[in-house]
Structure 1
Amino acid sequence: MQRSHNRAVPGTGHVVVIGGGIAGLAAAHRLLGAGLRVTLLEATERLGGKLMTGEIAGTQVDLGAESVLARRPEAVALARDVGLGDRLQPPATAAASVWTRDALRPMPKGHVMGVPGDPAALGELLSPEGLARIAQERDLTPTPVGDDVAVGAYVADRLGREVVDRLVEPLLGGVYAGDAYRISMRAAVPQLFEAAREGGSLLDGVRRIQERAAARQQTGPVFQGIDGGIGTLPGAVADAVRAAGGEILTATPVLGLTRTAEGWDIRTEGRVIAVDGIVLAAPAWSASTLLAAESPVASAELAGVEYASMALVTMAFRRSDVATTTALEGRSGFLVPPVDGRTIKASTFSSHKWNWVADAAPDLFVLRTSVGRYGEEDHIHREDHELVDVSLSDLAEATGLAAKPVDTEVTRWTGGLPQYPVGHLSRVARIRDEVAKLPALRVCGAVYDGVGIPACIASAHRAADEIAAELGGGFGEEIIATSTLVTGTRSEAGQ
């Protein structure tokens, strides 16, 4: 077996990044900026992870994540760094709805992940009984949260299950494909957790959150996309990595890691690479396998991370065929509460939401649905035509859409989203504590600091900065402090 000796002088050490999703690419980009030599190894033939573009009726569209949270700086800054700044684009409309109780109802404003500051905003979503239950909240005794608590359980205790079932659940489900009654409030909605720890009325706590946000005077769009698709970001980062001298190898699974007297040996098929440091940007199950020998405690913790699977059904219609479907007009899409018993959990009207999609295909109307939540793996195994048919059936009932698509594309994301149950941040802390015992090895990705793209990039920067400091690269304590601060400030939608 070939063995490559790639040791370098201090300050120019060789780091291997394992995993070519957006976190791994961002880590590689950051490490190169610190003056380190970088090789990125991706097991599959494609870079980008859950960011991917494809074609529908000859038009390029996102088949994975479609937007980034612009109120966090990391993703927008990275896009600008790699030459995509002039292609950043806010949604053309953000007028989303909730399909519940047999009608499309406007998404209320003034809430934190579905928890209202003003109950009157929920009037169309809730029944009179649900609104009456919210009115009792200030008379309730405090609900303890301890070290952590499930979002759904806490909000239901304070405001009633209807708020959770009709709004919190579909919003959290859109981010995590999870179950609000299992998802950690401390991990997924940290500002709400802090408000709960302050005690008193939850409604008043939400108002305090909103007042603090207003005091920060944040301007600009909340979300942004990229002309051509968010799925173009990984390719642009990869090009920047190569231009800076980094090496990227796809179809190169890592088979094992071994500590040596000088650093690490990384075993791939037919080759052992001797390196100084490692950034492990792989999913939990892969990271668990690779760390089994060198850090069995971290490996066991990672093995306990659960994932949800989902499918995206993208469809293109002739615009003339949907012209009379008035329920589509003026909307960016809708969410679907699980309590209503539908199959799809959301639909995005891409041709309304993104000007670049409408401009690229003016004669088409492109939309997509998502199917699958935590514990609903059976949908992922259905045939493509079945997922298309059930999506069309739900769309017809929700909007009156009767047209047939001219093209469809089903994209399955098996094990796509890590779950953040109660205690997740404690698990992450234990993993990082154990990994920190190993020389020049760090972990990053959606498992640790949030599933959104900015959070994944922040996680990557944190890992890269710590490795660079340990190996004597160009980033010092000031950069690490900044990275840790940014990583710790998650915003709405778990990003």
Structure 2
Amino acid sequence: MTASASTGRAVRIAVVGAGVSGLVAAYRLRQALGATAVVDVFDASDTPGGLLSSRRLDGQLLDSGAESFIVRRPEAVGLIEELGLADRVVRPTSRRPAILAGGRLRDLPRPTLMGIPANAGQVVDLAEPADVERMRGDVGRPMDWTPGSDRSVGELVADRFGRSVVDRSVDPMLSGVYSCRSDDIGLRASLPALAARLDSGAPDLTSAVNGLLPPPSTAPVFGALDGGYRLLVDRLVSAGGATMHLGSPVASVDAEGAGWTVTTDSGRQTSHDAVVVALPAPAAAAVVATAAPHVARGVATVATASTALVMLALAPDVALPDHSGVLMATGEATTAKAITLSSQKWAHLATAGGPGLVRASFGRYGDPVDHLSDDDLVAAAVTDLSTVVELAGASRSITAADLVDATVQRWPVGLPRYAPGHRELVTSALADVPPGLVFCGAAYDGVGVPACIARAGVAAAQVVTHLADRGPHGGGTMGS
């Protein structure tokens, strides 16, 4: 049993934010603190899950945020197994993504390090000839790198391999992961292993990249859940046993003696022994502005991308290209940054006589789509998809008449920008966090689902350590 020694009451923890980070933190707290601990989860939305959201499309409940996870990282795979969902994991088909560059569909270079090619031969049909030669001359050319420094991924790759390699190989990949072009993303936060390799004296970018590529493998990189991320969200809510306060946006988190007070927008206040803030950076900064102004000032500087996802269901007779999707190079005459051919990529979404399912992604940091209406976004998705199928050799274009259904999911505050210096910024912002206040989410240690799961576990462990450190004279004690 876990109880507050000074009052005899059960330990009470608040988790502000019911995205995957908040739900995992609540679940880990339940495991660590036992059944008697009170865990309150607050969220502005009426449904938990955050970016792990779902929408109905032609009667099917489909992921309308993140749709997959990297299987080479253990966090998502391990959590799914732990929650009894291993039998629902599916792998993508053998179809490969393409890149739309220079008005043509081209093969995605492989293997690469987040789009950074390993050798010039991979981009002969993709990059400008002068940049292919520049890449060939990378080995032996003096490297301009100061250990411990940071610069944008785009700046580094353009310097060593040429701008067309950035626009046509690196940008398409990083835009899909970070909703940013590579010129807006710092190397040290997004590719720390590459920065470390350069710090340790790699003589050139080619050597550094090749030293980090995994051994050749036919194993899939990504996995998904048959039934969508909603399965994981529901299982986390159930296993975490938290009291869910949905539709309850938090106005502030404030220190109260040795504990904390959470105040919702409605004015309701609750007292807690510790608080986990699992919100996007702007919202996190707002709720702790008074209690932790230093943290708030730092976290508030983390910009976010405004994005949108259009999901299309197409008539069964519409022929889709034999790809899993298409990434768009910088400078192409398209509005979407990527198109996922979902029913081509995932076998469990392809049903005989059923619709073709497509996801079109819009928006990056510095290139928002807020000015476009839902109808505009659907029209743009149809236009860009038609361009793709025509380039793939289809006998006819796709029009609005081919739509069975369409839905739009907007993310006005989407993924955080990991700008150059991001890691130092986060370290500085969280250096003087008051005891009992911890942070997790995509703004800190990575934007993917596995990274968020890992950070949430760290946050829960920090709470447990805080409660143990307080001891019987600090208002809390740990026990079983």
The alignment's C-alpha RMSD in Å is 2.0
Q: 1:258 to 1:384 in 2, by over 3 A?
A: closer
Distance 2:464 2:95 in 1: 40
- Give the equivalent residue in structure 1 for 2:247: 251
- Output one character per residue of 1:339-366: Cα deviation in whole Å (capped at 9) or x when no partner: 224211100010011122114x742111
- Measured after TM superposition, the shift of residue 19 of structure 1 is 0.4
Deviation at 1:220, TM superposition (A): 4.6
| Structure 1 equivalent of residue 153 of structure 2 | 151
Which runs of structure 2 are paired with 1:156-171 in the superposition (5 Å)? 156-171=158-173
In structure 2, distance between residues paired with 1:241 and 1:414:
28
Distance 2:271 2:245 in 1: 16
Q: Is 2:434 the partner of 1:453?
A: no
Instruction: Confirm or deny: 8 A CA contact 1:67 1:224 kept in the other structure.
Output: yes
CA contact (8 A) 1:335 1:347 kept: yes
Task: Give runs of aligned pairs for residues 30-429 of structure 1, distance below 5 A.
Answer: 30-35=28-33, 36-145=37-146, 146-197=148-199, 198-210=201-213, 213-214=214-215, 220-242=219-241, 246-268=242-264, 269-320=266-317, 322-323=318-319, 328-329=321-322, 331-359=323-351, 362-377=353-368, 379-400=369-390, 401-403=397-399, 404-429=402-427
Gaps of 5+ in 1: 1-5, 474-495
**What is the identity, as a one-letter code, of the residue corresponding to 2:348?**
W
Q: Return the alpha-carbon distance in structure 2 between the equivalents of residues 39 and 90 of structure 1.
A: 35
| SS of residue in 2 equivalent to 1:266 | strand
SS at match of 2:418: coil
TM-fit CA distance, 1:147? 2.2
Whether the 8 Å CA contact 1:65–1:231 is kept in 2: the answer is no
| Aligned position for 1:486 | none
Aligned to 2:290, what secondary structure does the other structure show?
A: coil
Query: Does structure 1 conserve the Cα–Cα contact (< 8 Å) formed by 2:3 and 2:10?
Result: no
Tell me if structure 1 keeps the 8 A contact 2:308–2:411: yes
AA aligned to 1:332 is S
AA in 1 matched with 2:194 = L
* Distance apart, 1:196 and its partner CA: 2.3
Q: Which residue of 2 aligns with 1:491?
A: none
In the alignment, residue 224 of structure 1 is paired with which amino acid? G
Would you say the 8 A contact 1:264–1:274 is kept in 2? yes
Q: Is the 8 A contact 2:140 2:203 kept in 1?
A: no
Change (3 A) 1:192 1:26: same
User: Could you give the per-residue CA deviations for residues 172-195 of structure 1, whole angstroms, max 9, x where no partner exists?
Assistant: 111111121120111111122122
Shift of 1:237: 0.8
Q: CA deviation at 1:118?
A: 2.2
Give the CA deviation at 1:302.
1.2
For 2:217 and 2:106, locate their aligned partners in 1 and report how far apart those are by CA, in whole Å.
28
Q: Work out the CA distance in 1 between the residues paired with 2:105 and 2:127.
A: 13
Q: Is the 8 A contact 1:7 1:274 kept in 2?
A: no
SS state of the match for residue 206, structure 2? helix
How high is the TM-score relative to the length of structure 2? 0.90
Aligned-partner Cα distance in 2 for 1:413–1:58: 22
1:94, distance to aligned residue in structure 2 (A):
4.7
- Specify the code of the residue in structure 2 equivalent to 1:342: T
Distance 2:254 2:105 in 1: 56
What amino acid is aligned across from residue 345 of structure 2 in structure 1? K
Cα 1:390–1:150 shift into 2, 3 Å: same
CA contact (8 A) 1:82 1:236 kept: yes
CA distance in 2: counterparts of 1:263 and 1:220, whole angstroms:
48
SS in 2 for 1:433: coil
- Does the CA-based 8 Å contact 1:61-1:357 persist in structure 2? no
- Distance in structure 1 (CA, Å) of the matches to 2:340 and 2:114: 18
After superposition, what is the alpha-carbon deviation per residue over 1:19-66, rounded to whole angstroms, capped at 9, x for unaligned? 000000000000000024311111221211111111111122111110
Count residues with an aligned counterpart: 452
SS at match of 1:368: strand
**TM-score (normalizing by structure 1):** 0.87
Whether the aligned pair in 1 keeps the contact of 2:95 and 2:344 (CA below 8 Å) is no
Q: Is the 8 A contact 1:311 1:371 kept in 2?
A: yes
Report the AA paired with residue 198 of structure 2.
A
Post-superposition shift, 1:424? Answer: 0.3
SS of residue paired to 1:258: strand
Tell me if the contact between 1:176 and 1:451 (Cα under 8 Å) persists in the aligned partners.
yes
Percent identity between the two aligned chains: 35
Q: Deviations over 1:398-451 (max 9, x none)?
A: 22242521111111111111100000000110122121xx12110000000011
